[in-house]
Amino acid sequence: MNDILVLYYSHTGAVREMAQIVARGVESVPGARARLRTVPKVSSVCEAVEADIPDSGSPYVELKDLTECAGLALGSPTRFGNMAAPLKYFLDGSGGLWLNGALAGKPAAVFTSTATQHGGQESTLLSMMLPLLHHGMVIVGVPYTEPELSATASGGTPYGASHVAGMDSVRPLSEDERRLCLALGRRLAQVAVKLAR
């Protein structure tokens, strides 16, 4: 069985919902299993520490999740056109894996949610790819053979799945956005299973 790490940060729930759908896409592929993980918030108070296990939701990720898994789907809310700090903080702690080339050759995909239609989805997705490329990961996007990519009137990009959540962050995922999350998870898992053979 090939585990695919679906690692996300979510403050108000939109990216968490996307992660759950990406995970369903992963699990639609025979031989693939999703491992959902999140990261704690970062704090401006240096002494603040989170419990090792969150009160609810996905467990916190550990570096060994990255090494044990055959692929990675990384999801973040857009923060000023970039990924959220808690995810960046976790990735900044992965230098040891980079030194060993532990992630080189593994497939990876990215997804994001924004408040507004033109609020920086592409810049977030592209910048999320940068540390993954430094790790030598093989980026998997969403091809235009997915019909929803041409049809969507909200989120969905060839760089990864995306969602426009609205200013109050309560707009549900559209059917096209859902299908593109599923397609991303499925494609990532298919590539991971093929590479593992």
Ligand X SMILES: Cc1cc2nc3c(=O)[nH]c(=O)nc-3n(C[C@H](O)[C@H](O)[C@H](O)COP(=O)(O)O)c2cc1C
Q: Please, what is the minimum distance in Å from the beta carbon of residue 81 to ligand X?
A: 5
User: Could you tell me which of 39, 33, 71 has the C-alpha nearest to residue 52?
Assistant: 39
Half-sphere exposure of 76 (CA within 13 A, CB side): 30
Q: Please, what is the minimum distance in Å from the beta carbon of residue 14 to ligand X?
A: 3
Closest-approach residue to ligand X (CB): 119
Nearer CB in complex with ligand X: 66/164 = 164
Q: Rounded CA gap, 186 and 143, in Å?
A: 12
Q: Please, what is the minimum distance in Å from the beta carbon of residue 121 to ligand X?
A: 8
Q: How far is CA 184 from the centre of its chain?
A: 10
Q: Quick count: other Cβ atoms within 10 Å of Cβ 158?
A: 13
Tokens of 177: 């956005």
Task: List interacting residues with ligand X (CB under 6 A).
Answer: 10-16, 77-81, 113-116, 119-120, 165, 169
Q: Please, what is the minimum distance in Å from the beta carbon of residue 4 to ligand X?
A: 20
Nearer CB in complex with ligand X: 119/136 = 119
Nearer CB in complex with ligand X: 13/31 = 13
Nearer CB in complex with ligand X: 113/152 = 113
Nearer CB in complex with ligand X: 42/115 = 115
Q: Which amino acid is at 75?
A: G
Crossing angle of helices 175-196 and 14-27, rounded to 10°:
50
Nearer CB in complex with ligand X: 41/194 = 41
Q: Please, what is the minimum distance in Å from the beta carbon of residue 13 to ligand X?
A: 5
Q: Please, what is the minimum distance in Å from the beta carbon of residue 153 to ligand X?
A: 16
DSSP string, 80-127: TTB--HHHHHHHHT-HHHHHHTTTTT-EEEEEEEESSTTSSHHHHHHH
